[in-house]
A and B are shown apart, each in its own frame.
Chain A
Amino acid sequence: MKNIITIFNREFRSYFSSPIAYIVIGLFLVLTGVFFYLLTSSFLQYSANLQWQAARMRQAVPPMNVNQMIIRPLFSNISVITLFVVPMITMRTFSDEKKSGTLELLLTSPVTTTQIVLGKFFASFSLYVIMALLTWVYPMVIIIFGNPDVPPIGVAYIGIIGMGAASIGIGLWISSMTENQIISAMGTFVILLFLWLVGWFSNFTSGAFSDFFKYLSIIEHFNDFSKGIFDTGHLMYYVSLSGMTLFLAHQSIESLRWRS
């Protein structure tokens, strides 16, 4: 445990001693902020339209659902943006150490490969969680100026965080296989994009294949979370995907010793 904390501390601090953390978080907040602004504006426009129509027809204004019109699409957008940001968080984790030779320090120290992988995972994951939770401002604005259902917002965050754990696992695994940061980032991005798009295949296939593709899709599993539906099955998907990728990262680092 102490070893994991040691590695975690170094890794986590290194995000902030380089511009990476600031750029990644800044970029993420700008993009999500733009989406929040657009969604809120169109909601306001639509509600103004409805009010005007209702006044003209001398009817009561029909109820509008903030959760459905702002919060759900907002979290869908956030989940998509994370696919672009996660590769930037994980690209250097192992690649940089391989290139600069510091991996030799880690592997000749009395720590296990599992401890190294977990330390790094928790560091990247913490940065991700901080980044994701900084978006609390957006639902807060809705809560102050509207009256949304609050529990679905919490559920959506659980989904965002679960999805992040799985994506970061993938990123670590890819990073452990190359000493080139660009390849690491691109590889992670391509795999995440594939896991995102694979849901579409289910529309063009049928039966077991359709279910399989749907199950594989990282975004399909998020849809229920964004609706505010908490389903442990979806959470299990994220947990097992992170577990599997961390295992693969572990094996890839171990194989480095045996192969070279």
Chain B
Amino acid sequence: MIEINNLTKRYGDFLAVDDISFNVEKGKILGFLGPNGAGKTTTMRIITGFMPPSEGNVTISGYDVLDEPLLTKNKIGYLPETPPLYLDMTVSEYLNFAGLLKQVPNQKINAAVDNACSKVDINDVKNKVIKALSKGYKQRVGLAQAIIHDPEVLILDEPTIGLDPIQIREVRDLIKSLAGNHTIVLSTHILPEVDMTCDEVVIIKKGKIIAQDTPKNLSKKMNKSSLEEIFIDLISESGLEKK
């Protein structure tokens, strides 16, 4: 579904993403892990077509994101690190706008908004101005925006940031329920979450992939009980040398 081939991104002299390749199969959830500044957001931005790669390419169900931007963007729902919200709009106005922007037809837009709202459970704040919402609600409105056009691919950049434990669980369940029909790439810092939701894990550091497997295999291979230990082991300098 998503194929990433030899992706490289340079900002001037700085190498943000260094020759990474991985595939995500249809209906799977891929967890994208790495310390801050490892190149997760850059990679996601390239997948969504927000910025072009310096080298390599990304295809979404066979279409290159640079050659067919309108086609691939239509297939992608994207939640950036900071939810892209217009603070002076109400939730339903905003989702209406996002839906139309994502080519939801006029006659289906109301149903799409209702559907997205109930999926992320924000029906009670539908007519509130976004400015007045708490961080958790804002995050969920951002999530609703990403799924409004029922995209084949979901790219979620730290979707559970700023949520309380109950909401984290809700979002996690939501993401799980979306898999199957949707192919999902999500980045996060919360490792147990990856253990619970993801079918596959990609760990990157300084723009390079340093591990890529299912969470289970990874713990078997590294002989560690939790993903957290594996992560810390891989990310710390000594861990890399040992390897």
Contacts and interface: CB of A to CB of B under 8 A. Distances in A.
Interface centre among B11, B51, B93 (most CB of A within 10 A): B51
Given A105-B98, A108-B50, A260-B51, A14 B88 contact: yes
9 contacts: A10-B97, A13-B93, A17-B88, A100-B85, A101-B80, A104-B84, A109-B102, A110-B74, A260-B11
B97 A6 contact: yes
Nearest to B80: A104
A7 B74 CA distance: 17
A2 B71 CA distance: 16
B174 interface: no
A107 B50 contact: yes
A10 B86 contact: yes
B145 interface: yes
Contacts of B145: 105
A164 to B, nearest CB: 25
Given A6-B97, A257-B50, A108 B73 contact: yes
Contacts of A14: 86, 88-89
B102 A110 contact: yes
B196 interface: no
Contacts of A112: 70
Interface string B47-87: 01111100000000000000001110110101010111111
Contacts of A258: 51-52
Contacts of A7: 101
Interface centre among A9, A18, A109, A260 (most CB of B within 10 A): A109
Given A18-B88, A104-B80, A112-B70, 14 more contacts: A2-B100, A7-B101, A9-B97, A17-B89, A102-B86, A104-B84, A106-B101, A107-B50, A108-B48, A108-B78, A110-B70, A110-B101, A110-B103, A111-B70
A257 B84 contact: no
A6 B89 contact: no
A240 interface: no
A6 B88 contact: no
Q: In the A-B complex, list the 7 residue pairs whose CB atoms are closest, starting with the nearest.
A: A105-B84, A110-B73, A110-B74, A6-B100, A102-B84, A109-B101, A108-B48
Interface residues of B, number: 30
B222 to A, nearest CB: 35
Interface of B: 11, 48-52, 69-71, 73-74, 76, 78, 80, 82-89, 93, 97-98, 100-103, 145
A8 to B, nearest CB: 11
A260 B9 CA distance: 10
A100 B103 CA distance: 23
Interface secondary structure of A, over-half rule: helix
Nearest to A5: B100
Interface centre among A3, A107, A257 (most CB of B within 10 A): A107
B86 A101 contact: no
A3 B89 contact: no
Contacts of A107: 49-50
A108 B47 CA distance: 10
Contact of A101 (B69, B70, B82, B101): B82
A133 to B, nearest CB: 26
Contacts of A9: 97
A3 B48 CA distance: 19
A158 B87 CA distance: 36
A2 to B, nearest CB: 8
Contacts of B86: 10, 14, 100, 102
Contacts of A18: 88
A105 B98 CA distance: 8
Contacts of B80: 101, 104-105, 108
B157 to A, nearest CB: 10
Interface string A1-45: 011001101100110011000000000000000000000000000
